[in-house]
């Protein structure tokens, strides 16, 4: 493990395997029936930022855990859904750095003993790496910030030094990880990894708690990576996310005063599907088509919906002749946890 290194604005601990590859996405475009429109798709493989800790959350954790170590924290406290990729990444990084972790996970079932619910996907991995997994109800989850403060007080009373990370790692500090990711993409454009050495017209990615979108938008304008960002909501409406993203952008700019205005950001909620964590039949079919046609494996909770949003923009003609970057944010453990549902679409 390399020691924390400082970067402007926030201390940072290197955790991700970066730069992640950028690959041509022509086969994925063909797989969804959009060939012949001149859409130049590239895929940024942030599903490859690591092993078990892979996905977009580790980029935010580089900043958040950097801050935690700076404050000499001993325990990371966070929250998420029962199949939270963020909780799994946080728990894994904690174990990697010799820290403890407490994760509050929202369950829809009756059972609140984490050892008694089926140990699949992210939940299994959280337990595997030794997180203190505490299940909470949907109603309790609404008070998640207060609950996490309570856990922090409980830990502090026992002599630990807790560091609370909000849902999805989505605050100003966390989002700076995606500003750094855009610096990385800029270097890849300059090296010729993205076809013509010019900015993308649009970046498309899944949006669940807003931190990725905020960082991408700030970094895209700062490093001239893309003219526009289209976060695809996986739950909630566009308006809600616009407010969240604006708040995180403000926090990020307070944390790093060198940041300018974010790139124009248009949240699209037309492919949010039936509800958080549940994909429509069409979305599941698309995930299977893209896996079979391009070997690009998406998940039903985030990246499948985001790619469905990209395909919809393509059908509308909004991407004709455009250079598009799809940010693959990870989610494989969530896919595996849903394999029984997905198998019906095979
Ligand atoms: C958390 C997550 C997202 C959404 O990122 P936010 O920053 O929370 O909006 C997208 N894809 C995957 C796989 C995720 O785990």
Given a cut of 80, whether residue 3 has pLDDT beyond it is: no
Confidence of residue 7 (pLDDT cuts 50, 70, 90): very low
Q: What does the pLDDT look like over 235-244, one tens digit per residue?
A: 999 999 999 9
Options 2, 84, 280, 339, the catalytic residue:
84
Pocket-testing residue among 165, 209, 303, 308, ligand 1, by greatest number of atoms within 8 A of Cβ: 209
What angle do helix axes 85-97 and 121-128 make, rounded to 10 degrees?
20
pLDDT, position 279: 97
Cβ of residue 90 lying under 6 Å from some atom of ligand 1: no
Spatial strand order of the sheet with 162-164 comes to: 132-136, 100-106, 75-81, 162-164
Mean pLDDT value across the chain: 96
Residue 6 predicted with pLDDT over 50: no
Distance CA 107, CA 173 (A): 28
pLDDT of residue 2 exceeding 90, the answer is no
Beta bridge partners of 77: 102, 164
Q: Report, as an integer, the average pLDDT of 257-269.
A: 97
What pTM was estimated for this model as a whole? 0.97
Q: Is the pLDDT of residue 68 over 90?
A: yes
Given a cut of 90, is residue 9 above it in pLDDT?
A: no
Per-residue pLDDT, 22: 98
Q: Is the pLDDT score of 171 beyond 90? A: yes
Tell me the per-residue pLDDT of 276-316, one tens digit each, with 9 for 90 and over.
999 999 999 999 999 999 999 999 999 999 999 999 999 99
What is the predicted pLDDT for the residue at 10? 59
Cα 157 to averaged position of ligand 1 atoms, centre (Å) = 33
* E strands present in 155-260: 162-164, 200-207, 226-233
* DSSP states along 287-345: HHHHHHHH-----TTTHHHHHHHHHHHHHTTTTTT-EEEEEE---HHHHHHTHHHHHTT
> Longest Cα pair distance anywhere in the chain, in angstroms?
63
Predicted confidence (pLDDT) at residue 5 exceeds the cutoff of 90: no
pLDDT given at position 153: 98
| The ligand 1 atom nearest the CA atom of 85 | 15
d(CA 127, CA 84) in angstroms, rounded, equals 12
User: How close is the Cα of 317 to the center of ligand 1, in Å?
Assistant: 26
Q: Picking from 1-10, 39-48, 83-92, 142-151, which range would have the lowest pLDDT averaged per residue?
A: 1-10
- Is 280 part of the annotated catalytic residue set? no
269 touches 237 (CB < 8 A):
yes
Q: Identify which of 50, 64, 206, 276 to mutate to test ligand 1's pocket (most ligand atoms within 8 A of the CB).
A: 206
DSSP 229: E
CA distance 47 to 58: 10
pLDDT digits (tens, 9 = 90+) for 179-223: 999 999 999 999 999 999 999 999 999 999 999 999 999 999 999
Q: Considering the chain, what percentage of its residues have pLDDT values greater than 90?
A: 97
| Window from 4-18, 125-139, 272-286 with minimum mean pLDDT | 4-18
């Amino acid at each position: 493990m390399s020691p924390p290194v400082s970067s402007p604005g926030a201390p940072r601990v290197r955790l991700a395997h970066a730069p992640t590859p950028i690959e041509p996405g022509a086969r994925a475009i063909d797989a969804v029936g959009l060939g012949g429109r001149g859409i130049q798709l590239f895929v940024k493989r942030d599903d490859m930022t690591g092993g078990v800790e892979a996905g977009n959350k580790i980029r935010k954790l580089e900043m958040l855990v950097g801050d935690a170590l700076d404050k000499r924290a001993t325990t990371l406290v966070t929250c998420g859904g029962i199949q939270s990729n963020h909780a799994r990444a946080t728990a894994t990084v904690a174990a990697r750095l010799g820290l403890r972790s407490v994760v509050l996970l929202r369950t829809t079932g009756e059972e609140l003993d984490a050892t008694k619910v089926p140990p699949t996907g992210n939940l299994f991995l959280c337990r595997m790496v030794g997180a203190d997994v505490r299940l909470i109800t949907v109603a309790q989850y609404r008070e998640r910030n207060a609950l996490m403060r309570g856990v922090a007080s409980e830990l502090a009373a026992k002599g630990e030094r807790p560091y609370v990370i909000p849902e999805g790692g989505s605050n100003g500090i966390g989002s700076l990880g995606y500003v750094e990711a855009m610096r990385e993409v800029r270097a890849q454009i300059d090296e010729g990894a993205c076809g013509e050495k010019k900015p993308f017209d649009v970046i498309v990615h899944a949006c669940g708690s807003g931190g990725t979108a905020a960082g991408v938008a700030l970094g895209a304008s700062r490093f001239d990576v893309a003219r526009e960002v289209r976060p695809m909501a996986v739950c909630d409406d566009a308006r809600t996310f616009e407010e969240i993203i604006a708040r995180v952008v403000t926090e990020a700019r307070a944390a790093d005063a060198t940041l300018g205005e974010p790139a124009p950001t248009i949240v699209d909620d037309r492919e949010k599907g039936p509800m958080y964590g549940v994909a429509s039949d069409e979305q599941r079919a698309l995930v299977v088509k893209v896996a079979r046609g391009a070997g690009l494996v998406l998940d039903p909770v985030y990246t499948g919906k985001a790619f469905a949003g990209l395909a919809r923009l393509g059908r509308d003609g909004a991407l004709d002749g455009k250079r598009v970057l799809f940010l693959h944010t990870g989610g494989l453990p969530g896919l595996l946890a849903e394999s029984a549902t997905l198998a019906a679409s095979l």
